Structure 1
Amino acid sequence: MRKLQFISLSMISLYFQCVSTSILTGCHDPSVVKAAEVALDQINAARKEGYIFSLNRVYDVLQDAQEESETLLRLTMDVLETNCHVISKRKWKTCDVKDVSNVPVFGKCDVSVFIQTNITLHDYSCTIQQVPAAAIVSACPDCPTTESLSDPIVSETANLSLEKFNQETTMSNYFVLLNITGARMQWVVGPSYFVEFIIQETDCAKTLTDVDWTQCQPKNGTHMKGFCTGSHITFDDDSEVTISKEANWISGTHTAIEEAKKKLSTKVSCSLYQQMLDNEQENNHRTTKILGSVLVLPPPTLPVPARTPAAAPNCPGERSYNLGLKSITL
């Protein structure tokens, strides 16, 4: 068994040594694609806010002079946001990209990586922006549209969703709202609002009575954080017949309209993740700090201006995703 492990490690080391001494052939080169994939995992792991990025394609690559069997690659990568938040620490290949029903976000990352016996991210600079609403509507007229995170109805939807979660969860402590990360609106049987938000465990135990959980303080030390999706439907008068039918389905009796609305209007789903102590995070971090930033820009105007052409031969690479947008190519 030890012999097999030694052989496997030797083969991996030999692979990266070959990469560091070879001349790359462009954005389709397997070594370049591999470097981009690993670098993106390291970028996502280093970030504290936002959604995990997925690799759409390698747009450009520059191979700097080699020193002591080490290669410096400068990559430009096209990325798309996924539905996974960075607190999940998931690998980007396990996450689905946001489609037109969830307001896609696209961008690019300029990255420097060193390749020797492994791939090491040195620095990154990313810019991202939402797909313009006009592009989404032209491709999917009935899809939800983005809402301002500062809109009072968005805060109300998040708080109602969190209240429902605190009532229904089996966790021993209450959770509080940290921040809202996304909001959309769609007409169903009335204006329907969909929110995404981050919550954190507090010191307030659910066994305590007369606790105003909105005033509880986030728990220090090891604690749980959650990424939640919530929705709130406001019903118009024409929806009462539908509500009556739904109410009968809920209880098997003629439940009151208002009670049915209360049960149906708010839904929530949260994924919880244990957060390490600061010293544990420092112990797990490598000694070399990654320098990086993510800049969020407003949605572009249509038509989107042409990009600077790639400088490397055989670039850019092929896209991994097609979101079906007609007026913008990501």
Structure 2
Amino acid sequence: MKSLVALVLLGQILGSITTSPPFPPLNTRLPACDDPEVEHAAAFAVHHINTHTLHGYKIALNRIESVKVLPRRPKGDMYYLEMDLLETTCHVLDPLPAANCTVRSKMEHAVEADCDVKLLSLDGNFKVLSTKCHSSPDSAEDLRKICPDCTPISKLNDIGVVNAVDVALSEFNARNDTNHYYKLLEISRGKHTHLPPASHVEFAIVATNCTAQEAKDHIEDCHLGTGEHVHFGFCKATIFDRTVAGPADAKFPPGDAVDCTIFDQQAGFSHTHLTEHHLGKKIPSPGVGHTVLDLIHSHNDTHASHESHSAEVAVVEVASPVVKRAVDPVPVAPILPVLQQCPGKYHHFKI
């Protein structure tokens, strides 16, 4: 008898659990890629990528490829974004806001980045939980289709590019009046042209505690500044190769062109991680053997995420419990497929 009572009680308990699930089922939301809420999430993600990039150039949103939004227990939403980004002409050291930076044109050999970003939306605020990016230049074939005379970018450790950077930095140090001797931080871009023969390079520099004369006498005593006291700069240069024979009527400009911008120190903002990566730890540049400084070196990890794995809940279709009722069943409306409007529009151009 006791066993029968126990079985009845157990059946009642299981029945109550079956008919009253502790949580309602979750549903994935698929907003359009160009919806304001999605654009807002993408803008936050792009800002995060720009402020955490260690090499190369700031980027701009070109197109949102896909988006899905999942409810998160106990509250909030998880956004999963796939985005296409384009390289701008602003180096990551440049204090100019990325929104004010010019997107590099196709004829300059544009660079595109593909990024997958996971964000948490909670109480009206976003937090980036993880980023995964990869950047690559447009193909040389596509470049020549729109500009037959344009030359593609070269590998960053190309001997001609490296030599041109050395010449340009020496020229800048010889004539700069900032009372600082500058060292190379990274080569960011380089290419060669044939008429006239020249190398066009872009590179970042960092100040030492020496003047040009002190560096000339005792270069081993020159050290980099630290924290907010270090000065950074970004240079663009064209170095002509007069040893290469050209057409008889070829004319060289009177001299090389070296233009360096020294950035103002930004209170509360330090690029110490850059100097440690490039100079302090003697880590090889991520540009070795490549034509671009790939975002993969800055963004294929999780940034300070304190989300537990149990907090992310997959979408599960929960079957309705089978309950015997004395009334006729209520007809259920058919579930119509959601037609998501993705990918979104191009903000700049297709690559």
Identify if the C-alpha distance between structure 1 residues 312 and 85 changes in structure 2 by more than 3 Å, giving closer, same or farther.
Answer: farther
Identify if the C-alpha distance between structure 1 residues 75 and 210 changes in structure 2 by more than 3 Å, giving closer, same or farther.
Answer: closer
Tell me which of 26, 29, 33 is aligned to 2:35.
Answer: 29
Identify if the C-alpha distance between structure 1 residues 188 and 48 changes in structure 2 by more than 3 Å, giving closer, same or farther.
Answer: same
Q: C-alpha deviations, 1:191-235, integer Å up to 9, x for none?
A: 111111111101212464853659843333420111211111124
Tell me which of 56, 60, 70 is aligned to 2:66.
Answer: 60
Matching residue of 1:269: 260
Tell me which of 113, 132, 137 is aligned to 1:125.
Answer: 132
Structure 1 residue ranges without an equivalent (≥5): 1-21, 247-259, 283-292, 297-310, 323-328
- When the two structures are aligned, how many residues end up with a matched partner? 260
- What secondary structure does 2:343 align onto? coil
Greater strand content: 1
The answer to whether the 8 A contact 1:62-1:312 is kept is: no
Identify if the C-alpha distance between structure 1 residues 209 and 86 changes in structure 2 by more than 3 Å, giving closer, same or farther.
Answer: closer
User: TM-score of the superposition, structure 1-length normalised?
Assistant: 0.70
The answer to whether the 8 A contact 2:174-2:212 is kept is: no
Does 1:295 pair with 2:322?
A: no
Matching residue of 1:7: none
The answer to whether the 8 A contact 1:100-1:143 is kept is: no
- How far residue 27 of structure 1 moved from its aligned partner, in angstroms, is 0.5
Matching residue of 2:231: 224
Q: C-alpha deviations, 1:85-124, integer Å up to 9, x for none?
A: 1122443211111112322111211001112222221111
Matching residue of 2:152: 145
The answer to whether the 8 A contact 2:215-2:222 is kept is: no
Identify if the C-alpha distance between structure 1 residues 214 and 176 changes in structure 2 by more than 3 Å, giving closer, same or farther.
Answer: farther
Coordinate RMSD, CA, aligned: 3.1
Greater helix content: 1
Tell me which of 185, 192, 200 is aligned to 1:194.
Answer: 200
Amino acid paired to 1:157: A
- How far residue 240 of structure 1 moved from its aligned partner, in angstroms, is 7.1
Matching residue of 1:103: 109
Identity between Structure 1 and Structure 2 (%): 25
- What secondary structure does 1:145 align onto? coil
Measure, in 1, the Cα distance between the counterparts of 2:133 and 2:215.
Answer: 47
The answer to whether the 8 A contact 1:109-1:125 is kept is: yes
- What secondary structure does 1:146 align onto? coil
Measure, in 2, the Cα distance between the counterparts of 1:46 and 1:216.
Answer: 28
Structure 2 residue ranges without an equivalent (≥5): 1-27, 274-293, 298-337
- What secondary structure does 1:176 align onto? strand
- How far residue 70 of structure 1 moved from its aligned partner, in angstroms, is 1.3
- What secondary structure does 2:296 align onto? strand
Rg (Cα) greater in structure: 2
Q: Which shows bigger deviation, 231-240 or 122-131?
A: 231-240
Measure, in 2, the Cα distance between the counterparts of 1:313 and 1:129.
Answer: 28
Identify if the C-alpha distance between structure 1 residues 75 and 147 changes in structure 2 by more than 3 Å, giving closer, same or farther.
Answer: same
Amino acid paired to 1:294: L
Does 1:319 pair with 2:310?
A: no
- How far residue 320 of structure 1 moved from its aligned partner, in angstroms, is 0.8
Amino acid paired to 1:152: I
- How far residue 47 of structure 1 moved from its aligned partner, in angstroms, is 1.7
- How far residue 277 of structure 1 moved from its aligned partner, in angstroms, is 8.1
Q: C-alpha deviations, 1:69-94, integer Å up to 9, x for none?
A: 41111111111111111122443211
Measure, in 2, the Cα distance between the counterparts of 1:133 and 1:212.
Answer: 45
- What secondary structure does 2:149 align onto? coil
Measure, in 1, the Cα distance between the counterparts of 2:118 and 2:268.
Answer: 29
Identify if the C-alpha distance between structure 1 residues 90 and 175 changes in structure 2 by more than 3 Å, giving closer, same or farther.
Answer: same
The answer to whether the 8 A contact 2:31-2:68 is kept is: no
User: TM-score of the superposition, structure 2-length normalised?
Assistant: 0.66
Measure, in 2, the Cα distance between the counterparts of 1:215 and 1:188.
Answer: 42
Amino acid paired to 1:34: H
- How far residue 163 of structure 1 moved from its aligned partner, in angstroms, is 1.4
The answer to whether the 8 A contact 1:56-1:321 is kept is: yes
